[in-house]
Structure 1
């Protein structure tokens, strides 16, 4: 299942990303990020910034490290919208 793999991949980055949150909400944030990937396919810095705004965790209430945010972005792209180009 794509959704299960998506959640598992996020937990592998940092279990707190998912934590006790509703998984539907986490998927919704990912789908919102897919819209951004579609809108800004060649603007990696903007996509990482938007990832930081959409995904939070108790130990990262405002932003993740850039490497973690980029990994989250890669998971979203790979699991939820792999057909969208991302440069």
Structure 2
């Protein structure tokens, strides 16, 4: 009984000490309203093209270019596209930004291998296939880089 009483007194004292220390949280001031942000939907086609160019990303490929690119990837390994051609195009366009700013082919192959993964190949398809993927990206999506 003495242990319970001592424990209860200690807890009551602790609670009183915390309350006396002024641990009441200060009210949080209202955050100012967020300013409107620019979204892709609000940009003009010229502004989108300019932003893409500044980032080193080429314009969206035409239907014919897109089809040739997907066919080139499928020829390397059907699992590179793995039924997601939009994702493959997006990854290719992002790879173009790496190509534009980097002349180190070994590094570009490594980037390609890490960028082009799939559920069956979460760590990429290997450096030999990555080199072929890099060439397909360069030839089809950003030949001027």
The alignment's C-alpha RMSD in Å is: 1.0
Report the equivalent of 1:36: 98
Separation in 2, partners of 1:10, 1:17: 6
TM-score (structure 2 length as normaliser)? 0.54
> How many pairs were matched up?
82
Report the equivalent of 2:139: 78
Structure number with bigger Rg: 2
Question: Alignment partner for residue 112 of structure 2, among 29, 48, 51?
Answer: 51
Report the equivalent of 2:66: 3
Q: Please tell me whether residue 25 in structure 1 is matched to residue 91 in structure 2.
A: no
Q: State the 1:57 CA deviation.
A: 2.6
Separation in 2, partners of 1:20, 1:80: 19
**Gap runs ≥5 in structure 2:** 1-63
Q: State the 1:3 CA deviation.
A: 0.3
TM-score (structure 1 length as normaliser)? 0.87
